[in-house]
Structure formats: C-alpha cells, structure tokens
Amino acid sequence: MSNSRYDSTFNWYEPKKRGIIPIEKFKISKNILKWIRNKPHKVTIDTAFREVVLGCADREETWISDIIIESYCNLYEHGYAHSVEIWVEDQLVGGLYGVHIQSAFFGETMFRRKPEMDKVALYYCWKILQENHFKLWDTQFWTPHLAQFGCIEIPQKQYLTLLQEAMKYSCAFQY
C-alpha cells in the first residue's frame, strides 16, 4: 500500500522520431510578417499563463485535463514553463506555452481566438529563442501545420544528441 495520494506509475513515451524546429531555419509567411509590422498588438510573456493553457484546452477534443492544467501551472510557478501571449485591444487573442530547461524549449501547444494569432505567437516565441541563444526547439511531433514553419522530423538518436548539447547551456526565456 502506498502512502502517496497519487499513482506512482508513469508511462514514458520515447518516440522513434521527434519533431523539432531548427531555430536558424524558422520560416514565417510574408502575410504574418506584414500583419506583425502593421497591426497594433501587444506581446507579453508569462503574464497570463493559466489563461493561455485554458485557451489551448478550449476545443472540442483536448488532451489538456485538469491535472495537466495544474501540473503546467505548477511548472510555471517554479519557473520552468512559459507562455507567449498576443493581445489586441486588451483581449487575449492567441498564445502558446511550453517548458524551458537550460537551452531547450519544449513547445506544448498553441491557440488562437482570431485568425493567425497562433502563428503570431509562434513568431514571437522564435524571436525569444533566437535572441536568447536557445539550442533546441522541441515540437514533440512533426505535423503538416508545423512543417510550414520549418519543423522537421529527426531520429531519436539525433534528437538525444541535440538534447544533451542543449543541457550544457543555460538561457533565459525573456523578451
């Protein structure tokens, strides 16, 4: 009998292939760049973390359960999880969140309440990773949606080498 209130059994998933966006090869459409240059918006980091997670969970089907929400909020409170928030007219219209360890960022998911605002959040995340000299941007899986930004799929062995290298350096997640 366990004294813990939580099940101590964990399932660890280690895929044969992993999705990453090479930071130096990130791509964004000219339309999104034009919107960023010409439309009034505000970008914040870590000011509405829970709201971003809830925005990401607000869909017909989601893997983001209450325990997941609380777990990521706990990581955020300890400085390991971060959010990028996009605001238009004081309304949160898009964002993303992920986990930051050393010089690696593990993107979890993103959302939009207005067209393209998830892409705008991804652009600002890239700026943060690039300007702070991150080594690894992990997307977990390759998807056609992420491929338009430069996401590639790499073998597990190559991923583990990149992860080991990223653990040698420390970076701040700041804008």
Per-residue pLDDT of 104-163, as tens digits, reads 999 999 999 999 999 999 999 999 999 999 999 999 999 999 999 999 999 999 999 999
Measured CA distances, 65 to 47, 58, 71 (Å): 22, 11, 10
Indicate the pLDDT class of residue 173, thresholds 50, 70 and 90: very high
Q: Is residue 30 part of a domain?
A: yes
Contact 135, 162 (CB under 8 A): yes
Mean pLDDT of the chain: 93
Q: Is residue 10 part of a domain?
A: no
Q: Is residue 66 part of a domain?
A: yes
Q: Is residue 171 part of a domain?
A: no
Mean pLDDT of 79-83: 97
Give the CATH number for residue 64. Answer: 3.40.630.70
Q: Is residue 74 part of a domain?
A: yes
In DSSP terms, which residues pair with 20 in a beta bridge?
138, 152
Q: Is residue 2 part of a domain?
A: no
Task: Provide the pLDDT for residue 2.
Answer: 39
Q: Is residue 122 part of a domain?
A: yes
pTM of this prediction? 0.90
Q: In what order do the strands lie in the sheet with 81-88?
A: 42-45, 81-88, 91-101, 104-112, 136-140, 17-20, 152-155
Domain count, the chain: 1
Where in the sequence is the domain holding 62, given as residue range(s)?
A: 17-166
Q: Is residue 9 part of a domain?
A: no
Contact 153, 17 (CB under 8 A): yes
